[in-house]
Amino acid sequence: MPTRDNFEIATVQLADPGFSRHVTEALSESGIDPDRVWLEITESTLMRDADEAVDILQGFRDLGLHIEIDDFGTGYSSLSYLRQFPIDVLKVDRSFVSNVGTDAQDTAIVTSVIQLARALSLDTVAEGVETLEQRSQLDALGCQLAQGYLWSGPVEAAELERWLQPLRKVSQKVQRRRSSPPFTVVIADDEEQHREIVRRTLERSGKFEIAGEAVDGHGAVQRAAAEQPDLVVLDLSMPVMGGLEALPQILGASPHTRVVLLSGNAPDQPDRSMSSGAASYVRKGIRPRELLEELLLAMEGS
């Protein structure tokens, strides 16, 4: 993951009418890339004035910042508001994480938060992970981002600098990608919910532009021929015509197009898929951030 700077928003700051201006000025004066800045706000602070918070957070998103809801599960968020908030991450409170896998109720809460985040195309971060057992349980539940003393406690600036060194090359690659025009993409999947997840992930990234959608292989071939997209995200299992059958026809209709194959299961013959001209293979259900990274890697060198 690229390096990032996290800042927690206090209740008094959210209520300050000049806070947005201060953030804008700080970004301008510091020269920090807004895409590296993540603002954390606790669930309870967010719900003190939810209607006003929606507008304030949207202003931060318009600046290019990311928004995290901290200590999620300890407050009283309305699901209708949660859908309106322009957020990127739900952080599961450590009070639930500490008992994951050992307490049925806490495990159920963590599971529900992960599933809710996935349905809303959000990332989930587990707070306060201290043991390998907790990490294993969270991984089994589908939560692949976490923080806690299992990895490190607070460190001095010099040690942190050493940790960040290997990530700088990754950050430079991201910057080069950001300066390029968005890739055009056709999404072909018979599952409407999964098309929506892929669409939202790509649109929110600013790195892809949706050129069209299809619900079967025939539609994908027609879309590719008409749009000549940079990328086709192609489901392997679709009615009428599946991904492997559609793949050579797509490449024949639009030779410069790259095709990424999607499947809910491990492929029986991945080598066959790759030798048929696919740029890569991606498992369905991976986190939106991982999906975006896989698709960007598929487009490298195009």
Q: Is 143 exposed, middle or buried (0-12, 13-18, 19+ CB in 10 A)?
A: buried
At 271 the pLDDT is 46
Domain span including residue 184: 180-299
Based on the domain organization, do 13 and 155 belong to the same domain? yes
Based on the domain organization, do 109 and 236 belong to the same domain? no
Based on the domain organization, do 150 and 189 belong to the same domain? no
Domain end among 111, 139, 172: 172
At 163 the pLDDT is 74
At 110 the pLDDT is 92
Based on the domain organization, do 115 and 217 belong to the same domain? no
Based on the domain organization, do 91 and 219 belong to the same domain? no
At 183 the pLDDT is 93
CB 211 within 8 A of CB 229: yes
Based on the domain organization, do 21 and 164 belong to the same domain? yes
CA 287 – CA 90 distance, rounded (Å): 13
Based on the domain organization, do 250 and 285 belong to the same domain? yes
At 210 the pLDDT is 95
Domain with residue 42: its CATH number is 3.20.20.450
Name the nearest CA neighbour of 230 among 276, 176, 191, 279. 279
At 4 the pLDDT is 52
Domain with residue 218: its CATH number is 3.40.50.2300
CA 207 – CA 16 distance, rounded (Å): 33
Domain end among 172, 196, 225: 172
Question: Which of left, alpha, beta for 108 (phi over 0: left; psi -120 to 50: alpha)?
Answer: alpha
At 267 the pLDDT is 45
Domain end among 172, 192, 212: 172
Based on the domain organization, do 158 and 230 belong to the same domain? no
Based on the domain organization, do 134 and 225 belong to the same domain? no
Based on the domain organization, do 216 and 136 belong to the same domain? no
Q: Which two tokens stand for residue 161?
A: 């600098």
Mean pLDDT split into 10-residue runs, the chain, 302 residues: 52 69 82 81 78 82 84 68 83 91 92 89 91 90 88 83 69 57 92 87 88 95 95 92 92 92 62 63 81 88 57
Based on the domain organization, do 126 and 149 belong to the same domain? yes
Q: How many domains are contained in the chain?
A: 2
Q: Is 29 exposed, middle or buried (0-12, 13-18, 19+ CB in 10 A)?
A: exposed
Based on the domain organization, do 26 and 118 belong to the same domain? yes
